[in-house]
Chains A and B, each alone.
Chain A
Amino acid sequence: MESQLEYVNILKPGLLTTVQDLGRRDYRIYGVSVSGVMDALSFRLANTLVGNDENDAAIEITMMGPTIKFETKTAFSITGGNLSPKLNGKSIDMWKVIFAKAGDELSFGKYISGCRSYIALAGGVNVPVVMGSRATFTRGHYGGYMGRALKRGDKLYFNKPDFNIKQLQGRRLRTNDIPDFGEERPIRFILGPHIERFVNKSIENFSNGTYSLSNASDRMGYRLEGEQLIHKDGADIISDFITPGTIQVPGNGYPIIHMADCGTSGGYTKIGVVITTDIPYVAQKKPGDKIKFQVCDINEAQNEYRKIEKMLYDIELNNKLLSRN
């Protein structure tokens, strides 16, 4: 019987290359980090382009991309930050379907915009499900490919798609639907819940402030440098739940934006939460980059959320037209 599994070979691992999906959403009740992709928008678009379910596992790469050899022909897409992708040494376009044949090599160059790209393979990466997800959680050594970032010599298997990949010929995203990670745009957030715990001046300073991303930033949290915020009466709260996007301010007065691998709860004051549609733009920032904040109200945030979901829904409709085995 023909094997249902195909694979790619990792020739060079890059800086931080992991298998991810949309994360462990129903396990926070057990205190389990959601984890999963940093930039869900680019990830979902990458999967949709190649006919996958939007939650199929794909590869997240960071700043310095890997070199990957295809062992069988397949279709793939690259989305997210522009890390200069090349196929057999020749530049290739992002946000479209690309066909590879056995022996082709995918590599990356310098980063032009953003810092994370997604490589979706038609059929989706095949790794075991741990607590409802295929996402790698490196801190816990579980999920994804053996609970770790990919290394040289790893063979990463993917599922054979249940449709003929020729149907993906010519697929690309409309320019309007492609997020621009090079553009300067403010990061919007909803104030609270603990604004009354800060002196007024600090709320004002933060709300219109510009911060830069420190070197001590990772998939768990982004530490910010800039105006120090002053608490009225300490930074401790009785621990409660946090979500990715939460901006926590510990005793030293420097904000931390919680990202995909963040814990589920914390014990420091929260000055605000980045709105869902802007998290991908935060995720594409790298140490040294500036973040300019802007206050947003909940109605505007939820309207933006609905707009993006509608756009993704419309794009996903194309996959209903594929004829599947």
Chain B
Amino acid sequence: MSIENNQYPSYYPMGDRAIVAQFENFISIDVSRKIQSFLYMIKKQDIKGVMELLPAYNNLTIVYNPVIIKYDELIMEFKKIEKDISDDVKIESKTVHIPVAFGGEYGLDIDEIAERSDLTSTEVIKKLQSKSYYVYMIGFIAGYPYCGNIDEKLRFKRRSNPRMSVKKGTVQIADKQVGIFTMDAPSGWHIVGWTPMEVFNPHHLPPGLLSAGDYVKLEPVSSDFVKTWDKEKEKEWNRNWNM
């Protein structure tokens, strides 16, 4: 299916070495698939000077070398192919099951989320584990998977005062999104749980467990389970869930 109107994508510069191709400004899997489609088309075109293709929720950032191709020239190349963008693309994808200890010491903001959404903490946790989440993009500092969409009742803006340091393995939510921290870093999202599973390892290729287009399912486990997690348990988990 081709897009009827030609409003999208629109283009703008992101500094002097990147162009952003902007699609519809909301989070949806259809928009994400169009972005994947455009990414694939540009890759096939093999345009000289194009260095990186970085898909996000609703835009594609194209990093290029301005010695080889200039901003206006590159946009002309994109305009030649954009009419064939489609949301009907086949993306190779997998579902990765991840063990999560929700609430308590591992999910500091669960009670607040419960209060604001007029649910009990147990109901919040139940909603979070009830479905698989689509992986829209991988980003932040190191392999952070941006996934969605979470239940409508659990959607809140980021905290106005971000925490200076949030622990690796933290499962957190903001707006429609859910993500897993792959290293200690500052964060303004709401903390709901924690996983001992290594979602990112710089010494593996690819370094991350997840890619844009995959699905992730959060499986609730006890705090005892995560406390005794080790290499053996990880192997066993992957045998049972991720093979």
Q: Which residues of A contact B (CB under 8 A)?
A: 25-33, 130-131, 139-140, 142-143, 190, 192-193, 234, 236, 238-243, 245-246, 251, 263-267, 270, 273-276, 298-299, 301-302, 305-306, 309
Contacts and interface: CB of A to CB of B under 8 A. Distances in A.
Given A33-B142, A238-B57, A27 B20 contact: no
B18 to A, nearest CB: 6
B56 A193 contact: no
Contact of A30 (B59, B157, B188, B206): B206
B137 A306 contact: no
Interface string B154-187: 0001101000000000000011010000111100
Contact residues of B: prevailing secondary structure = loop
B140 A236 contact: no
28 contacts: A28-B52, A30-B143, A31-B139, A31-B182, A32-B143, A139-B141, A139-B183, A142-B203, A143-B202, A190-B16, A192-B12, A239-B137, A239-B146, A240-B137, A243-B63, A245-B15, A246-B14, A263-B144, A263-B185, A265-B56, A265-B140, A267-B188, A270-B14, A273-B13, A273-B15, A299-B70, A299-B71, A302-B71
Contacts, number: 150
A73 B153 CA distance: 68
A132 to B, nearest CB: 10
Given A131-B202, A245-B15, A246-B14, A251 B140 contact: no
A190 B13 CA distance: 8
Contacts of B13: 190, 192-193, 273, 298
A25 B51 contact: yes
B139 A264 contact: yes
Given A240-B57, A241-B61, A265-B140, A298 B71 contact: yes
Given A243-B14, A273-B14, A276-B17, A31 B51 contact: no
The interface size bin for chain B is 35 or more
Interface string B16-59: 11101010011100000000000000000000000111101111
Given A31-B137, A131-B205, A263-B185, 14 more contacts: A26-B52, A28-B52, A30-B208, A31-B145, A192-B13, A238-B25, A238-B26, A238-B58, A239-B56, A241-B54, A241-B56, A265-B139, A266-B140, A309-B67
B66 interface: yes
Given A29-B53, A239-B137, A130 B14 contact: no
For the complex of A and B, the 9 pairs showing the least CB-CB separation, nearest first, are A265-B139, A273-B15, A240-B56, A301-B16, A31-B138, A241-B61, A302-B66, A263-B141, A142-B202
A273 B51 CA distance: 19
B185 A139 contact: yes
Contacts of B52: 25-26, 28-29
A305 B142 contact: no
Nearest to A265: B139
Contacts of B142: 31-33, 140
Contact of A31 (B14, B53, B143): B143
A251 B159 CA distance: 10
Contacts of A305: 16-17, 66-67
A246 B207 CA distance: 25
B53 A140 contact: no
